[in-house]
Amino acid sequence: MKRHIIVAALMLCAVLTQAQTATLRIDASARYQHITGFGGFVCSPQFTYNHMSTSDINKVWGTGSTVGCNIMRLFIPIGRNAWSQSLRTAKNAKAKGLIVFASPWGQPAEWKTNGTSNAKNSDGTTGKLKRENWGDYAKYLEDYVQYLRQNGVELDAISIQNEPDWPAEYVGCLWSASEIAEFVKLYGRTISCKIMAPETLAVSDSYANALNKTDILDCFDIYGGHQYGGIQSAYKNLGKKGKELWMTEYLINWNENKPTARNFDFNQDFFDFFRSINTCMLGDFNAWIHYAAKRYYAMLGDGTNGTTSGTVTKRGYIMASFARFVTGMTRIGSTFSGGSLEGSAYLSQSGDTVVAVVANTGSDDCQLTLDLPFYTTDGKLYTTARTKNLAATSLTQPAETCRPVVMLAAQSVCTVLFVRSRDRQASDMKGTVTRFDRLDDMSTTTTTFGTAYKMSGKTKTFDHSNALISTRTTLSYGYIKLDSRHDKLIMHVNSVSSTMNYTSSSTTLYYVNSAGKAASHDYGSVDYSRRENFDLVFDLSPATLADGCIGLLGMSCGNYSSVLTLKFGDVYLGRDYSGKLSGAYVADDSNVLEYSSDSSCTSVDMTAVTSLPSSLPWLTGTNRVAYVAADGGLTGDNIVAGSSCSRLVLTADGGDFRPATAFTADEALLTVNIVGARLLMLPFAAGVPEGVTAYTLDDSLTPTQITDIPAHTPVLVTGWGDITFRGSGEVAYATVPLTAKVRGSYVSQPLYAGDYVVGERDGQWGFIRLTADSVLPPFGAYALPSSTADSAVFNLFGQRVDGRPTAESRPTKKSVVIVGGRKVIM
């Protein structure tokens, strides 16, 4: 029996959306650096000591201040006669209990090779400290320490030189890496407070390596560096040998590198400042100190560029998100998954409080699950966003939990704090993840394409002469064929290093469009400043690639100086994965809780798990399956023992269905709600239930009634109510080729404007053409006829009516069509 159905051009009323969700796993056993604190510069050669009033200082520094800084950087005025300028501020700082250190810019001109206090004169002559005056300079620094001490101020540290690697045309002095190291060796311990070196413009390997010598290490205490010129890696070796690592100066000027002057722009600047601090926290720095504390780009406004003098800025509140809550704590392991989140986590010295500072860079609120090292009932959330400044919210839990859920506002920086109520059960379970839809597992149309696209777990160089995926930009050697509709390409980066900047310019994807032709899209400048454990996400949907995407070729960038070295985790296109567990079963093990609650985990391999419980209640109500050993003794719905499942229970609203391997089911059930008609695809063969009529559809969408439903075949079913399809035998995951006119899926898939879904309009059932993007639910199907032009109209009999019907397309009796949302009688 054949019937025809209507096609209408209108918008699907109910749009299925997925909430933004993410998990932050906090590992207290992974201990990193102690956080000494945060601070700013109270003055400089640019700003005199009266630049900040006592009231200003009280807003930035000290217990009870708005920003909460505990470190103050002093400028050492040039010449002994000028030292008194710093005394009042130093006394004020010490009265607050602050950590105070001092940095010198220049020395008396007669000690310099260029005869001035500048690092470089206007004629280009650079200035170094004459070697015969090294001893004089050491005494000069010691005399400053003594001057403050004699006036009641004990200096916590003194720097040897501000930016010895920067030939500035203002007060400064140039020192090579070897010269700084030699000076520290000869004179470091002649100065009676802690010594900081080298305070370079960049955290460079050359200076760190020069100081990392046995006969020099004992002659200084703090490695200091500035963030401007990038952060390399050798400094970490000094941290391993007991040196504190401080980032002692950084600023982001709003007007820098901009074509026109501008005031603070929330979208451009808000997260840049957060990342500046967080990058250093993840980089093992013990302290982070801003340049001027009071300036339009600082923590306190100065009345210029749209700021109000003496008022805490957004940057000040971001600084407070760290300074007020993590000073004195220890950074611990933190791993994000899902969402547009980044940040770091910290543990109090008593071990009873965990703090996470998290940025939600996305445009939607994000529901964050925190996997804590203990149980809790009490917490706090502090939110800074466009209209909020450290807004406090209580996170009191209705019952003890080790996985509290917090809603983070869109475009926000949040500090989340939880207090321990009791410890979690110890667990030795291990967990690993296998991603589906890895790029490595895709096939290519020809073998000549090569295998460079297999990037998961590999280290790759990315610059103007080194591409990612492949160097292909045309179809001459084939392409990577996408096996399903994917709207994102995700590259997980375990870590990245750079020879200069942490961005890739003109990041261009070469792909194959829906017409089978090579195309390209420039994603612009891509940011890698998170450095570790982050995702690069490239949108493949028609919102970005308007001509569609059925294959991939390669990715290039315009970097020349900034050569990126990327250590990849998985590179993939779909969100689903399979988890694998081993060890003695513990119900509140982090991996067990993550795999059993994350909707993206569609199956769990437990064949290596011992001490299994009698049941797995976390399978109930989901489409997840668990694999156990054949002789494990565990049975129940959705449990595959060996390769057999006694009873598989699936529901249309139970989430994605994607078993890692095929299995045999004695009984398989899928329950769906049908209100008139629905397109479905089943992962097993089934009979047609009573009260249901089922049809297969050909490429012209002409239905043919069937009495048995084959597996992996889109079918049209009509009926009413909750209907259960029953079958048995092999159960597996399968995809429908992108060339098919009717495409089904066992996992949720994006739908785009122009796709057709089954729907109802004015009592007429048929295909509805979407005019906006949506999401196809699991076990659903959609159609993509050959012609999807807005002017195409199909009548009740499936015959095309284009305004001047031919003999073949002319309806044989009166029918109803819908054109542009308007009912027309033919």
pLDDT digits over 433-453, tens only? Answer: 999 999 999 999 999 999 999
CA distance 702 to 4: 6
Residue-level pLDDT at 129? 97
- For residue 372, pLDDT beyond 70: yes
pLDDT digits over 25-84, tens only? Answer: 999 999 999 999 999 999 988 889 999 999 999 999 999 999 999 999 999 999 999 999
Residue-level pLDDT at 826? 26
- For residue 500, pLDDT beyond 90: no
Domain 31-329: CATH superfamily is Glycosidases (3.20.20.80)
Cis-peptide, bond into residue 198, ω within 30° of zero: yes
CA distance 95 to 669: 73
Residue-level pLDDT at 261? 59
pLDDT digits over 713-757, tens only? Answer: 999 999 999 999 999 999 999 999 888 999 999 999 999 998 989
Residue-level pLDDT at 533? 85
Q: What percent of the chain has pLDDT over 90?
A: 81
Domain 17-30+330-424: CATH superfamily is Golgi alpha-mannosidase II (2.60.40.1180)
CA distance 755 to 11: 10
Round the average pLDDT of the chain to a whole number and report it.
90
Q: Which residues contact residue 516 at a Cβ distance below 8 angstroms, ignoring those fewer than 6 apart?
A: 550
**Least trusted range by pLDDT, from 167-176, 218-227, 372-381, 815-824:** 815-824
- For residue 11, pLDDT beyond 60: no
The contacts found for 132-140 with CB under 8 angstroms, 24 or more apart, are 133/107, 134/183, 134/186, 134/187, 135/187, 136/111, 137/107, 137/111, 137/187, 138/183, 138/186, 138/187, 138/190, 138/191, 139/190, 140/80, 140/107, 140/108
CA distance 183 to 715: 81
Single out the residue of 755, 742, 761, 735 nearest to residue 700, CA to CA.
742
Residue-level pLDDT at 789? 41
Tokens (6 digits) for 144: 């400053």
Over residues 320-346, the mean pLDDT reads 95
pLDDT confidence of 531, banded at 50, 70, 90? confident
Residue-level pLDDT at 508? 98
Count of alpha carbons within 13 Å of 589, Cβ hemisphere only? 17
Beta strands at 639-641 and 693-697: parallel, antiparallel or unpaired: unpaired
Task: Give me the DSSP letters along 732-778.
Answer: ------TT-SEEEESS-EEE-BTBEEEEEETTEEEEEE-SS-EEEPT
CA distance 438 to 454: 9
Domains of the chain by residue range: 6-16+665-825, 17-30+330-424, 31-329, 437-572
CA distance 643 to 820: 52
pLDDT confidence of 815, banded at 50, 70, 90? very low
Higher pLDDT, 698 or 794: 698
The Cβ of residue 543 has, within 10 Å, a number of other Cβ atoms equal to: 12
CA distance 568 to 460: 8
Q: Please report where in the chains the tokens 């540290």 appear, as a residue.
A: 157
3-state helix, strand, coil in the chain (%, to 5): 15, 40, 45
- For residue 820, pLDDT beyond 50: no
pLDDT digits over 259-283, tens only? Answer: 555 566 777 789 999 999 999 999 9
pLDDT confidence of 702, banded at 50, 70, 90? confident
Single out the residue of 806, 802, 782 nearest to residue 792, CA to CA.
802
Residue-level pLDDT at 8? 37
The Cβ of residue 561 has, within 10 Å, a number of other Cβ atoms equal to: 10
Over residues 466-492, the mean pLDDT reads 96
Residue-level pLDDT at 254? 72
pLDDT confidence of 763, banded at 50, 70, 90? confident
